[in-house]
Chains A and B, each alone.
Chain A
Amino acid sequence: MMPLATLRAEADNLARQLPAALLSADAADIVHPGAAGRRRAGSGEDFWQYRRYAQTDAADQIDWRRSARGDEYFVRETELETARSVLFWADPLAGFDWSGHGDRKTKAAHAKIIMLALATLLGKAGERIGILGGHRGPSVGKSAASRLGEDLLARPTRELSAPKTRAIAVLASDFYEGVETWTARIARLTTTCDRGVLFVVTDPVEHEFPFQGRTRLHLPGTATSRLLGRAEAARDIYLSKLDDHARDLDQLTGQTGWAVVRWRTDMPPLRGAAALLRAVEQFGARTT
């Protein structure tokens, strides 16, 4: 388990290399109004600016009190005060907190770094970020990211329950627990989180299946094991099963409208973070 400072440092480093998060305009529709000013025009209560009337503006948007002072029409704009909640969750299973090679970080560590980097970006962009299933609700501001970091390291609960408010869920796991299990879980979430990203983090060993000879394979964290007489003979079957699993995941997200981001721990983390950012930014547009 890595210390919080390391997690923050790695995540900040990653976030610095990414462009600022900008959720799509359409995505703004699904957010609920919040208290934080967004420093741009939008729906809110505080005055932002007067702007000359344009043909596309509706007539009821004209601020008549200002317009009465001159010959031109003005539209009064308020500061955008909306934010959306993005909730993160990393799989606490021992199999996820596992690395195929001593030099590599575990899948969970990578996933947490990338998710925190994304959360940092989103926090800077004014979104509400938080842990899914934690005691604390999502929050905004500078402390939000460090609070999320603490929550991520403090082992989230195993069972997922739908948050009280609407939010986007980012679930990091290897999703090896079977598609049925995950379908059920996501179905529970979709009462409030009708949008979400499945961040599939895998280890290269799981793709290569480099075992040869007589091998006993253990499931990390459990007593489950399996003896293979000739492991190389099982490789083809395993790889086809892996492909089936990926297809099942795609099918699952297709049904629920969620997105899937796949990343292997031997890839650059920046790539994973960018893909995740893109998915979070864009899936609102995709679904409308």
Chain B
Amino acid sequence: MTIGPLLFLAPLALTALLALPIVWWVLRATPPSPKHAELPSLRLLDGVEALDETPTRTPWWILLLRLAAAALVILGLALPVYAPGAGPTEPEHGPVLVVLDDGWASAARWSELRNAASATLDGAPADTAAHLLLTAPRTLNIDPSQRLSRIELDSRIKSLDPRPWPVDRAGALARLKESGLQPGRIVWLSDGLDPDSGDPFGEALREIAPLTIYAAPPRGPAAITGLLGSASGVEVSLYRAKADSEASHFVSALTLDGSALATATADFSAGSTEAIARFDLPPAALARIARFQVTGTSNAGTVWLWDSAARSRRIGLVSGDRTAQPLLSDMHYIRRALAPFSTIHEGDLISLIEGDPDAIILTDIGQIDLEAQTALIAWIEAGGALIRFAGPRLAARGDELVPTPLRRASRAIGGALTWEDPQPLGPFPTTSPFAGLAVPDNVTIRQQVLARPGPDLARRTWARLADGSPLVTADKRGAGMLVLFHVTAGPDWSDLPYSGVFVDMLRRAIAAGKGEAAAATDGLYVPTRTLNGYGQLEPPGADAAPLQADALADLVPSQTHPPGLYQGPSGARAVNIGATQQPPAMTNWPAGARLLGDSEAQTERLGGWLLSGAALLLLIDLLVALGVAGRLRRFQPQSAAAAIVLLALTLGTTGLAEAQSSTDKATEAALGLRLAYIETGDPDIDRTMRAGLEGLSLTLFNRSSVEPDKPHAVDPETDALDVYPLIFLTLPDTPAPLSPLAISRLNAYMRSGGAIFIDTRRGGMIGATDTFEGLNTALAGLDTPPLTPVPRDHVLSRSFYLLDDFPGRYSGRRLWIEETGSAKQTERRGDGVSRLFVGDADYLAAWAIDSNRRPLFSVDGGETQREMASRFGVNLVIYVLTGNYKEDQVHIPALLDRLGEDNPAGSRRREVIP
């Protein structure tokens, strides 16, 4: 039943509205129940009659409230649906055909399409049958003549996901015709793209039955259409279907594990469907990028997988220069230029050719022997790129394997006996692959081999000097390329190897080989990871089939060949949707079809809202009834207001308090001396550490001029560590390793003068002999200097108290400190003061006190040992704080002795206790 934009799924429930007057009458006669109380003096009121002004009738507004609640319940049970567009506007006959575009372009607004599809039957008679036609082709397509009930349609649509390949509307139409279905009404839920197939499809549908169309074209960028390596990084092209207003979108460069390395913006100008996001990244970072994704989208089209073909090339290096000075060799420069983004193989020429690299680089090799030359030529013609560098040998005796004939001498410019100045680089010819690279003005060429002039020379020149003589020449041989740099790969002849443009020139020269196009004979490529409709990488499904390499180039993704990564003999290749699919938006819809706006395709089920509203009204009624009965008296308005204010303050200040705490902590620690500890995550141990440090702080406060504030728990990953002089760390029973970040920050802390005290707490275990047990697990990577047990008469036993031993909770344990004597002077840190202390006697437990300043744990040797442990704590902190001052004090007797050698009176020995 439809009333205006509302339709009721259970209209019979509305008859209950007839009962409302009865409800009204009953409610009217029933006053709220009174409150009961006792009063012995009630007899005093015996004679008073006028008091009984009891409202025998419910107040009108309570009545209204309850009637409204009852009406809402009835309306809610009638299951109303707000569906402005779903109702049939004309009498219909026969079933409804739902045509759903479930190609890759639908993913952007899939939930809307799905909701609209579920809503198509709302408003139709209950026994209306539905048929479903999906336009994305599958190997096994659903037969559109299959009859679905309302519930079946709902569940079927809910289980659908967008496909990562394009729709095939012509095929879908053919299937529809084949099935012989004659629907009474057709609802086409379209992705709104590709008018080439969409326009005839819509016309054909409209001829079959009255057509309703809901189009949901992607709002933002539809696809990443390509990737172009630029001089400083890569450029990602974005495509959008609707060329409307200006828009900016972000593109993220993601690594294999999905973390973002960089983000760039792509700005669509008004009226343009193309935009470019530029990533300026060093080659090493580029090598780690696995895919690009438009941020905030989940769509197979907005992901661009970057395969190894575009990224990492295999290069063979052969050098004729066997110099003993590796840093001066030509190869060094090439290796450094190419290492970040290619795989380099070295060896003799024959074995390199057998490995079939993308490119082979030869530096200053004069003559290649015949056998190798034959193999090399065959390899080039099969698509390899041979890059040669000139040099004294090539200049003296070249061979035929050069792009252009050379003169038998090299040309030196700017030398002592030449007239000319060293030549800078000239602009790159526009036909050259180097075109677009910035020409550096500080590169000069001092010597080169000269090409013989010929008719083809200009065409073969990729780079030339300012005076026009060729610097790089290239010639196509078969499918491959032969490139010659007329200078050495090292800095002997030119400054070019110093320059950044050298790297780019090399990369482009390498790419001139077969890196760009796979050879047809490369064999099968097997899918390893495929994209699903939402742009997530998944293991390939059962339908994904391997394909030939030559089919990769212009592959239109389909169920058998979904977009993703394909592994083949020459590395992984990516199949991206955007490479082939850039469909424009549909603008011309078939005449006579009913177009639904966004809001009309939506339906809103109102039953829940109405029932909630009824519940709310009943709640108000309850409060009113309580108020009338006088039972709300204990909730005074003031206390209620106070509670609300308190709640608001609590909610409001929690965030603030959290935001402030971290900065406050560093400030606090900087303003007052504090001991710090690293939490282990074991609450018992953390409590003990805190109590131990509080005990030590108290001891220090009472006995020395060190007056520490409350200790801090620090997180080595986030907190500022430099503000603490000494950080304590204990190992839990099962230590978990600290994160690499924490370790590196702790290393930096120790290098900058901080001290770490590690208590492994292993001293109490029976048979525990290894002080360092568990330390390697927890602190793997900590920059540990050589350690030694504390020597006799070390400053640590003299810095405040005179100590013989360093007991903790357990006695007779050894304390290890940094070995200072044998280490080289340059490696000594902190003025020779040990920055690392490792013990296992559970010192913190010996120091631990509770809030009443009573010791928390028993100690092996009773109170005497506890006192000694406290004294050790004082010594430790004084030692760390005073640095080598105390050490010098310890040595004063020796110094005085030395001073006293000239002085007869100096022979008196003096004991100095620092």
Chain A contact residues, CB within 8 Å of chain B: 93, 95-96, 98, 107, 174, 176-178, 202-203, 205-206, 209, 211-220, 224-231, 233-234, 237-238, 241-242, 245
Contacts and interface: CB of A to CB of B under 8 A. Distances in A.
A214 B38 contact: no
Interface in B44-73: 44-45, 48, 51-55
Contact of A238 (B32, B37, B44): B44
For A214, A225, A226, A241, the residue with the greatest tally of chain B CB atoms inside 10 Å of its CB is: A214
Contact of A219 (B34, B40, B48): B40
Interface of B: 31-32, 34-45, 48, 51-55, 627-631, 633
Given A213-B628, A214-B34, A214-B54, A241 B40 contact: no
Contacts of B633: 212
Given A214-B35, A214-B628, A214-B630, A229 B41 contact: no
B45 A238 contact: yes
A101 to B, nearest CB: 11
Contacts of B53: 229-230, 233
Nearest to B54: A229
A211 to B, nearest CB: 6
A205 B43 contact: no
B42 A241 contact: no
B43 A219 contact: yes
A241 B629 contact: no
Q: Which 7 A-B pairs have the closest CB atoms?
A: A213-B630, A95-B40, A229-B54, A212-B630, A214-B34, A241-B44, A206-B41
Contacts of A229: 52-55
Given A227-B52, A229-B53, A215 B44 contact: no
Contacts of A217: 37-39, 42
B41 A228 contact: no
B40 A228 contact: no
A215 B630 contact: yes
Contacts of A225: 42
20 contacts: A98-B38, A176-B40, A211-B35, A211-B630, A212-B630, A213-B34, A213-B35, A213-B631, A214-B35, A214-B54, A216-B37, A220-B38, A225-B42, A230-B53, A231-B630, A234-B51, A237-B45, A241-B44, A241-B48, A242-B41
B50 to A, nearest CB: 8
A214 B200 CA distance: 76
Please indicate which of the listed interface residues B35, B36, B39, B42 has the most CB atoms of chain A within 10 Å of its own CB. Answer: B39
Given A212-B633, A214-B630, A233-B51, 16 more contacts: A177-B43, A211-B35, A211-B630, A214-B32, A214-B629, A215-B37, A216-B34, A218-B36, A219-B40, A219-B42, A219-B43, A229-B54, A234-B48, A238-B41, A238-B44, A238-B45
B42 A218 contact: yes
Contacts of A205: 39
B51 A228 contact: yes
A220 B48 CA distance: 19
B42 to A, nearest CB: 5
A94 to B, nearest CB: 8
Given A216-B34, A218-B36, A218-B37, A228 B54 contact: yes
A237 B52 CA distance: 12
Nearest to A96: B40
Given A226-B45, A228-B54, A238-B44, A206 B630 contact: no
B816 to A, nearest CB: 68
Contacts of B628: 213-214
A219 B39 contact: yes
B34 A227 contact: yes
B583 to A, nearest CB: 72
B629 to A, nearest CB: 5
Contact of B34 (A203, A215, A233, A241): A215
A55 to B, nearest CB: 59
A201 B35 CA distance: 27
Nearest to B631: A213
Contact of B41 (A174, A230, A231, A237): A174
A107 to B, nearest CB: 8
Nearest to A107: B40
A237 to B, nearest CB: 6
A214 B31 contact: yes
B37 to A, nearest CB: 6
B38 A218 contact: yes
Nearest to A214: B34
Given A228-B51, A228-B54, A213 B629 contact: yes
Contacts of B54: 214, 227-229
B636 to A, nearest CB: 13
Given A213-B35, A217-B37, A176 B44 contact: yes
A224 B41 CA distance: 12
Nearest to B627: A213
Nearest to A244: B44
Q: Which of A107, A176, A217, A230 has the most CB of B within 10 A?
A: A217
A224 B36 contact: no
A241 B31 CA distance: 29
Nearest to B630: A213
B44 A211 contact: no
B888 to A, nearest CB: 75
Nearest to A218: B38
Contact of A215 (B31, B35, B41, B627): B35
B40 A203 contact: yes
Contacts of A107: 40
A215 B45 contact: no
Contact of A176 (B37, B38, B41, B631): B41
Contact of A206 (B36, B39, B48, B52): B39
Which of B32, B36, B37, B633 lies at the interface centre, i.e. has the most chain A CB atoms within 10 A of its CB?
B37
Contacts of A218: 36-39, 42
A231 B40 CA distance: 15
Contacts of B627: 213
B597 to A, nearest CB: 54
Contacts of A203: 40
Contacts of A241: 44-45, 48
Nearest to A212: B630
Contacts of B37: 211, 215-218
A197 B893 CA distance: 102
Contacts of A212: 630, 633
B909 to A, nearest CB: 83
A205 B633 CA distance: 16
A227 B31 CA distance: 12
A215 B36 contact: yes
A91 to B, nearest CB: 10
A163 B807 CA distance: 92
A238 to B, nearest CB: 6
A134 to B, nearest CB: 24
A219 B38 CA distance: 6
Contacts of A98: 38, 40
A210 B101 CA distance: 73
A177 B628 CA distance: 32
A96 B43 CA distance: 13
A279 to B, nearest CB: 23
B40 A245 contact: no
Contacts of B40: 93, 95-96, 98, 107, 174, 176, 203, 206, 219-220
Nearest to A98: B40
A250 B156 CA distance: 91
A210 to B, nearest CB: 9
Which has the most chain B C-beta neighbours within 10 Å: A213, A224, A245? A213
Contacts of A237: 45, 48, 51
A49 B527 CA distance: 135
Given A176-B40, A228-B54, A216 B45 contact: no
Nearest to A94: B40
Nearest to A228: B51
A9 to B, nearest CB: 27
B606 to A, nearest CB: 37
A41 B699 CA distance: 80
Nearest to A93: B40
